[in-house]
């Protein structure tokens, strides 16, 4: 695209001084996303309570176990808590981390994708802001990095960050003699990688839908429709017709869960019928396709004086 502007004069100064453009876009995007999320206070309060409810319950159980275990007057309560099974659900491990990241918090991540992510590129296209961004010393890679980081920030706030804090709380309340520090630190790293993988896939899907639309509402509808159509209708019908376990690899949700279970070393949630390499390959192809579509929809601007 070429913009003819006789009043334009080239910038001869230092283009590398000051904050990087992607950081400016990220900063403003996070603030805009927060304003959208808290636009309706009642909804925002209910969403935060529901999203952080499991995390707060887990921290509460860990503190209750620590209090009961360190006071002889509450020996019966400590034994009942440990034998009841609730403590096993919040004690950090590969299985509990997978259950928290994949089964519980993914729904809140999807809601954030619709509220925050749908308009990240669509609104720039509608207001012709892309021409302003890319006519300045802003690379396409920097623009995409900033937009993906905005959505990744919000997804991490309801998935990775609470899980990491829960691990840190467990480490602080557990006797060092009863805990292998290296295992917990390793689990923390794998939680970040697994959550980052899920966040990357979700972010690129939302940005792809946003790049194909010019309004946030249309992008959110396209994103939800794609997930429902591809995951629920097409994928389900194909698997039901052919009844082949290998066709599970057609499901984006299954592939993400398979890779996360492998990263978190959670055998209970790993499907042996589909190799993790197959799931990783499908996700890699999906990432490449999404990036190709987004790159085609976002083109740099050349200004001719």
Higher pLDDT, 96 or 230: 96
| Residue 279: inside a domain | yes
Dump pLDDT digits (tens) for 77-88: 778 877 777 777
Question: What is the predicted pLDDT for the residue at 268?
Answer: 85
Domains contained in the chain, number: 1
Q: Is the pLDDT of residue 120 over 50?
A: yes
Q: Is residue 246 part of a domain?
A: yes
Token pair for 5: 């502007």
Residue 12: its pLDDT value, please?
Answer: 59
Higher pLDDT, 174 or 197: 197
Do residues 217 and 165 lie in contact, with contact meaning Cβ atoms separated by under 8 Å?
no
Residue 144 lies in a domain: yes
pLDDT tens, residue by residue, 216-264 = 888 888 888 888 777 767 666 776 777 777 777 788 888 899 999 999 9
User: 131 versus 151: which is more confidently predicted?
Assistant: 151
In a 13 Å sphere around the CA of 247, the CA atoms on its Cβ side amount to 13
For the record, the structure tokens of 106 come out as 């993914």
Give the model's pLDDT for residue 77: 77
Among the ranges given (127-131, 207-211, 271-275), the one the predictor scored with the smallest mean pLDDT: 127-131
- Whether residue 253 is contained in a domain is answered as yes
* CA angle (268 as vertex; 265, 270 as ends), nearest 5: 65
Residue 52: inside a domain:
no
**What was the pLDDT predicted at 9?**
55
Residue 86 covered by a domain: no
Asked whether 29 and 147 are in contact (CB, 8 A), the reply is yes
More confident residue, 63 or 241: 63
Q: What pTM was estimated for this model as a whole?
A: 0.84
- Is residue 79 assigned to a domain? no
| Rounded-to-integer distance, Cα 105 and Cα 244, Å | 29
Of 62-71, 143-152, 230-239, 286-295, give the lowest mean pLDDT range.
230-239
Tell me 159's DSSP state: T
Of 13-27, 185-199, 225-239, highest mean pLDDT = 185-199
| Domain span including residue 231 | 2-8+19-40+96-156+177-304
C-alpha 293/C-alpha 207 separation (Å) is 10
Does the pLDDT at position 15 exceed 70? no
Q: 1: pLDDT confidence band, cut at 50, 70 and 90?
A: very low
pLDDT at 60: 87
The residue ranking higher by pLDDT, 46 or 72, is 46
Q: What is the mean pLDDT of residues 134-139?
A: 74
> Is it the case that residue 283 has pLDDT exceeding 50?
yes
What mean pLDDT is predicted for residues 35-52?
A: 86
Q: So what's the pLDDT on residue 293?
A: 92
Lowest-confidence pick of 84-88, 102-106, 279-283: 84-88
Indicate whether 99 pLDDT > 80.
yes
Quickly tell me which residue has 């659900």 as its tokens. Answer: 89
Mean confidence (pLDDT) of the chain: 82
DSSP string, 209-277: HHHT-SSHHHHHHHHHHHHIIIIIIIHHHHHHHH--GGGGGG-HHHHHHHHHHHHTT-GGG--TTS-HH
């Amino acid at each position: 695209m070429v913009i003819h502007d006789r009043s334009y004069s080239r910038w001869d100064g230092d283009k590398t001084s000051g904050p990087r453009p992607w950081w400016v876009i990220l900063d403003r995007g996070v603030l805009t996303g927060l304003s959208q999320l808290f636009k309706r206070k009642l909804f925002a309060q209910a969403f935060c309570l529901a999203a952080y409810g499991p995390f707060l319950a887990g921290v509460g159980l860990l503190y209750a176990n620590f209090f009961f275990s360190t006071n002889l007057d509450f020996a019966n309560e400590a034994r009942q808590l440990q034998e009841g099974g609730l403590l096993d659900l919040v004690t950090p491990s590969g299985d509990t981390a997978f259950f928290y990241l994949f089964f519980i918090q993914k729904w809140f991540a999807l809601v954030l994708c619709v509220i925050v992510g749908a308009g990240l590129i669509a609104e720039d296209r509608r207001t012709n802001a892309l021409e302003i961004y890319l006519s300045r010393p802003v690379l396409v890679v920097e623009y995409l990095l900033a937009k993906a980081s905005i959505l990744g920030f919000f997804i991490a706030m309801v998935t990775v960050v609470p899980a990491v804090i829960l691990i840190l709380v467990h480490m602080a309340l557990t006797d060092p003699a009863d805990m292998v520090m290296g295992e917990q630190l390793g689990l923390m790293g794998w939680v970040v990688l697994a959550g980052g993988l899920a966040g990357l896939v979700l972010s690129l899907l939302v940005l792809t839908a946003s790049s194909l639309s010019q309004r946030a509402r249309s992008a959110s509808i396209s994103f939800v429709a794609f997930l429902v159509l591809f995951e629920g209708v097409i994928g389900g019908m194909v698997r039901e017709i052919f009844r082949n376990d290998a066709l599970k690899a057609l499901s984006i949700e299954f592939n993400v869960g398979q890779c996360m279970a492998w990263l978190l070393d959670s055998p209970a949630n790993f499907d042996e019928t589909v190799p993790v390499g197959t799931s990783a390959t499908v996700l890699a192809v999906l990432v490449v396709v999404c990036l190709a579509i987004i790159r085609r929809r976002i083109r740099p601007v050349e200004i001719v004086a």
